[in-house]
């Protein structure tokens, strides 16, 4: 059986983890210094967000040299020390692989823009202006505005699905694929254990770049023309043949807009190319898809919607593919603020959501700080925000669409990526012990209460609950391999399901409410049920408390 099915992954956003130089920016030595903290928590794998050389327009997702470490983060020797230190503690390390685009400062792009006949020209995607001199099509960038920028020198537009400083690579051009595969081998030969593949289902674009029709905005996101495009699986099969199949790896594709059927194409044990994917259905649950900026909206959602969509993934992938389980990462708000209650029930709801992540089928991902129950941040001034997506959104909403300051800031407080990017609070000292200098972004002001030192000292903390969950997942094979079955299909507040393997049933009961309720009488809780974990200290079955979570093990009822 593949080791990555049994693994738990801990995601690190290096810029915000631990600074050892006093420049206010986290670094590789900071991670190495804290490997014992991570190892004690108990994950098996570390995922490092990009650590390559980058001008940091998008915090490392704009890479200017794939074979160099970002100087702010350290050196190649620091990287080797981190890798060795992790391996010595039984932790594997996967890196972010960002190959849909490079930085505009990458040598390939610098060459490409020199002239239309430069040998690197075809590494990127160029089109002549439309008849009126404007962009070749109405495609929008994920970070606002057109996805095309005119290169004055050569008179053509280049495509960028993200910021203008992130030109898209032309995967249809074989030398691009060869260069990427070569670079992947470079890191794998150094000892890296896999990759998290950024926006990997955007590699193959509709070569006609047609206008999006019927759009609500001048520059719509042309998903139908670049997600899961015609040649995507051919490129990934090449990657598998040339690179992946020669190593024992965890590979996870970031794949927005993929349904379970498509997911099996990526992750099927024989036909597939990747270990697992990140699906986005639950990330879109609370958004208004008809709004001009869907990701910034907040729509009320129901437990029934969440249960249906998670259940669909559980059933349709069972035995055919593999999923990852996540509720937050560096691109989305903190999970407790978004799906739980970050006020009076912060601790209970953070634990309940963690219980969900560890009891479904798939590989659980912990985003740094979620093990402390970290919350969203509300900076009053836009000047305290750093994320290119947030700053572009603010500018467009305020100055092009003339929305009020309060309305725009409320959207940013709920949905900005910077919610997840505030520096890691190690303790209650100045700047949470993250840096001795000025942090690149202010800490969440609640760090004197929510920090790693406090959490490790408090046996009731979210942190200790995660430690137990990680251990349970290791001890109970049914949590990895058991078949999912939903109970109480339409209960408005209680999500209950079993995972069944052989004669063992693991029953999980989660209460998505900040009000107490009555314990559902029709739950098949049997006499031999043994409580494995709960976020309250008694397991009476008369009431169910706010955000209560319980996991029981019991024997399956033998078939009649």
Note the residues at the interface with ligand ISL (CB under 6 A).
58, 61, 98, 142, 162, 198-199, 254, 256, 280, 330-331
Nearest to 497 by CA among 279, 285, 310: 310
Q: What are phi and psi of 318, to 5 degrees?
A: -55, 120
Q: How far apart are alpha carbons 272 and 274 in whole angstroms?
A: 6
> Residue 319 and residue 355: Cα distance in Å, rounded?
23
Sheet containing 126-127: give its strands across.
Answer: 126-127, 156-159, 148-151
The 8-class DSSP code of residue 400 comes to: I
Distance, in Å, from the CA atom of 257 to the CA atom of 8, rounded to the nearest integer, reads: 24
Kindly state the smallest distance separating residue 227's Cβ from ligand ISL, in Å. Answer: 8
Catalytic residues: 198, 254
Q: Which is nearer to ligand ISL, 323 or 513 (CB)?
A: 323
Nearer to ligand ISL, 98 or 347 (CB): 98
| Closest CB to ligand ISL among residues 221, 352 | 221
Instruction: Work out how close the CB of 282 gets to ligand ISL at its nearest, in angstroms, rounded to a whole number.
Output: 12
DSSP state at residue 64: S
Q: Vertex 523, ends 517 and 527: CA angle to 5°?
A: 115
Which residues, in sequence order, are bridge partners of residue 197? 97, 253
CB of 42 to ligand ISL, least distance (A): 25
> From the CB of 258, what's the least distance to ligand ISL, in Å?
11
DSSP line for 171-204: TTSHHHHHHHHHHHHHHHHHT--EEEETTGGGSS
Nearer to ligand ISL, 100 or 431 (CB): 100
Cβ closest to ligand ISL, residue 280 vs residue 318: 280
How far apart, in Å, are the Cα atoms of 192 and each of 8, 195, 308? 17, 8, 37
Q: Which is nearer to ligand ISL, 280 or 413 (CB)?
A: 280
Distance, CA of 401 to CA of 94 (rounded, Å): 41
Question: What is the rounded end-to-end Cα distance, in angstroms, of the chain?
Answer: 32
- Residue 329 near residue 364, CB atoms below 8 Å: no
CB of 331 to ligand ISL, least distance (A): 5
Task: Give the 3-state secondary structure of residue 245.
Answer: helix
| Dihedral sign, Cα of residue 355, residue 357, residue 361, residue 367 | negative
Which of 367, 324, 386 shows the shortest CA–CA distance to 17?
Answer: 367
* Tokens of residue 36, six digits: 């014992």
Least distance CB 140 / ligand ISL (angstroms) = 11
Angle between helices 346-359 and 462-475 (to 10 degrees): 20
**Min dist. Cβ of residue 160 to ligand ISL (A):** 10
How far apart are CB 504 and ligand ISL at their closest, in Å? 37
Contacts of 392 (CB under 8 A, 6+ apart): 143, 144, 145, 163
> Which residue has the CB atom at the shortest distance from ligand ISL?
61
Q: How far is the CB of 215 from ligand ISL (least distance, A)?
A: 15
Give the list of residues 6+ apart from residue 53 with CB closer than 8 angstroms, or none.
63, 64, 65, 68, 69, 70, 71
DSSP letter string, 448-479: TTS-HHHHHH-TTSHHHHHHHHHHHHHH-HHH
Nearer to ligand ISL, 58 or 265 (CB): 58
Element (H, E) at 223: helix 223-226
- Residue 215 or residue 477: which is nearer to ligand ISL going by CB? 215
Q: Cβ 257 to ligand ISL, closest distance in Å?
A: 7
Residue with Cβ nearer ligand ISL (62 or 548): 62
**Which is closer to ligand ISL, CB of 149 or CB of 199?**
199
Residue partners of 316: CB distance under 8 A and separation at least 6? 260, 261, 263, 264
Dihedral angle, C-alpha 468, 470, 471, 473, nearest 10 °: 120
Tokens of 17: 């983890």
């Amino acid at each position: 059986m593949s080791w990555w099915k049994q693994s738990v992954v801990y995601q690190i956003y290096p810029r915000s983890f631990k600074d050892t130089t006093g420049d206010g920016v986290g670094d590789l030595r900071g991670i190495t210094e804290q490997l014992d903290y991570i190892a004690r928590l108990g994950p098996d794998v570390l995922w490092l967000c990009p650590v390559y050389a980058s001008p940091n327009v998008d915090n490392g997702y704009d890479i200017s040299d794939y074979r160099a470490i970002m100087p702010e983060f350290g050196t190649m020797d620091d990287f080797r020390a981190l890798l060795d230190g992790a391996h010595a503690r039984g932790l594997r390390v996967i890196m972010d692989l960002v190959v849909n685009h490079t930085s505009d400062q990458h040598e390939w792009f610098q060459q490409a823009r020199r002239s239309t006949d430069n040998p690197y020209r075809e590494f990127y995607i160029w089109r002549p202006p439309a008849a009126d001199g404007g962009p070749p099509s109405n495609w929008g960038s994920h970070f606002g505005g057109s996805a095309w920028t005119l290169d004055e020198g050569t008179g053509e537009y280049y495509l960028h699905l993200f910021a203008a400083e992130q030109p898209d690579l032309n995967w249809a051009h074989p030398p691009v694929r060869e260069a990427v595969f070569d670079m992947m081998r470079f890191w794998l030969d150094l000892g890296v254990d896999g990759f998290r593949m950024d926006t990997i289902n955007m590699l193959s674009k509709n070569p006609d770049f047609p206008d999006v029709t019927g759009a609500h905005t001048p520059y719509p996101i042309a998903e139908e023309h670049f997600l899961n495009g015609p040649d995507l699986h051919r490129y990934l099969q090449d990657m598998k043949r040339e690179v992946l199949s020669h190593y024992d790896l965890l590979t996870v594709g970031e794949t927005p807009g993929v349904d379970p059927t498509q997911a099996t194409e990526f992750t099927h044990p024989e036909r597939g190319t990747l270990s697992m994917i990140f699906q986005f259905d639950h990330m879109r649950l609370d958004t208004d898809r008809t709004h001009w900026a869907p990701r910034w909206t907040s729509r009320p959602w129901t437990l029934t919607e969440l249960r249906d969509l998670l259940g669909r993934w559980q059933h349709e992938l069972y035995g055919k593919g593999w999923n990852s389980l996540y509720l937050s990462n560096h691109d989305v708000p903190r999970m407790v603020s978004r799906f739980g209650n970050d006020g009076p029930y912060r601790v209970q709801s953070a634990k309940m959501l963690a219980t969900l992540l560890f009891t479904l089928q798939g590989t659980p991902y912990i985003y740094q700080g979620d093990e402390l129950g970290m919350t969203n941040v509300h900076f009053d001034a836009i000047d305290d925000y750093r994320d290119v997506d947030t700053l572009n959104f603010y500018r467009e909403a305020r100055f092009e669409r003339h929305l009020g300051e309060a309305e725009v800031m409320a959207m940013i407080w709920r949905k900005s990526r910077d919610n997840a990017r505030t520096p890691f609070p190690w303790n209650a000292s100045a700047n949470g012990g993250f840096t001795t200098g000025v942090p690149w972004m202010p800490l969440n002001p609640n760090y004197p209460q929510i920090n790693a030192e406090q959490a490790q000292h408090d046996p009731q903390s979210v942190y200790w609950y995660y430690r137990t969950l990680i251990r349970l997942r290791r001890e109970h094979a049914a949590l990895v391999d058991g078949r999912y079955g939903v109970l109480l299909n339409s209960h408005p507040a209680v999500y209950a399901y079993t995972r069944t393997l052989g004669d063992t049933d693991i029953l999980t009961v989660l209460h998505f409410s900040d009000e107490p309720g009555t314990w559902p009488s029709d739950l098949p809780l049997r006499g031999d049920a043994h409580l494995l974990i709960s976020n309250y200290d008694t397991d009476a079955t008369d009431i169910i408390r706010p955000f209560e979570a319980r996991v029981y093990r019991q024997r399956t009822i033998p078939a009649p």
